[in-house]
Amino acid sequence: MRASRLVITIDGPSGAGKSTLARLLALRLGIPYLDTGALYRTVAAEVIRRRIDIEDDDQLESLCRNLDIRIQWIEDRLLVLSSGRDVSQEIRSERVGQMASCISAKAAVRRALLGLQRQIVAKNGAILEGRDTGTVVAPDAHVKFYLDARAEERGLRRFRELQEQGMDVQLESVIRSMYQRDRQDRERDLAPLRPAPDAVLIDTTDKSIADVMEEMIRHVRKRIHVEV
């Protein structure tokens, strides 16, 4: 099989190591990587900017009908444009993350982003990273992973990630916000965070990125005949 047609999904809660591993795996396999959370975050940023009432279905529907989100990798930086406006930096804040978790429970939002994600995948295959990529977006993916880690470790990773991005954050509030977001993502009715029945489960606590990467590559080789 040509790697360019591959679809691999990586789901799990925040801080489990999904983004780092998705990026590395995509580089190794030479296929695009889609950070699906960036799409939800972009909708959230628009909701905040336009002061949309998320309990008002008409307002939300109208926003979703007029979305114009474009994403592009420039070397290892993800450029996200919303109606031509660069939101790459803005979407990484905790406030936007929290709002992304709230609006991701809404049917209009999930419907709009589902179509967009499937269009992107249909072009060249992809490594999809998110919460429902193995269960809903690409249920026929060739290989599915579900990454998880102990909550304290996930909180610490998330804290360091935000610090590296130059954000002024407090460990306690990052952990609190992570717990809240995880609960919302797991308990929502639509496409809740959970492993697909055929997903490979990997606990990344106390494991190096390199070790998890090799474990994932082993599974990819086992499931499909591809040179990696």
Binding interface with ligand DC (CB under 6 A): 14, 36-37, 40-41, 97, 100-101, 104, 130-133, 181, 185
66's CB contacts (< 8 A; 6+ apart) are none
Of 76 and 227, CB closest to ligand DC: 76
Rounded to the nearest whole angstrom, what is the least distance from the CB of residue 53 to ligand DC in the complex? 19
**Cross-strand partners of 74:** 77
Rounded to the nearest whole angstrom, what is the least distance from the CB of residue 214 to ligand DC in the complex? 24
Torsion, Cα 169 170 171 175, to 10 degrees, reads -80
Residue type (1 letter), 150: R
Of 42 and 200, CB closest to ligand DC: 42
Rounded to the nearest whole angstrom, what is the least distance from the CB of residue 131 to ligand DC in the complex? 4
Of 59 and 184, CB closest to ligand DC: 184
Of 17 and 130, CB closest to ligand DC: 130
Of 17 and 37, CB closest to ligand DC: 37
Could you tell me the CA-to-CA distances from 145 to 50, 65, 82, 206, 216 in Å, in that order? 36, 31, 29, 18, 8
* Beta strand pairing call for 143-148 and 200-203: parallel
Cα–Cα dist 224/160, whole Å = 35
Rounded to the nearest whole angstrom, what is the least distance from the CB of residue 11 to ligand DC in the complex? 7
Rounded to the nearest whole angstrom, what is the least distance from the CB of residue 14 to ligand DC in the complex? 5
Rounded to the nearest whole angstrom, what is the least distance from the CB of residue 25 to ligand DC in the complex? 16
Number of other residues whose CB lies within 10 A of the CB of residue 56: 10
- Phi, psi torsion values for 168, nearest 5 degrees: -90, 100
**Cross-strand partners of 130:** 11
Q: Is-contact 18 185, C-beta < 8 A? A: no
Of 171 and 226, CB closest to ligand DC: 171
Rounded to the nearest whole angstrom, what is the least distance from the CB of residue 121 to ligand DC in the complex? 12
Q: Which of 58, 54, 45 is nearest to 91 (CA)?
A: 45
Of 17 and 97, CB closest to ligand DC: 97
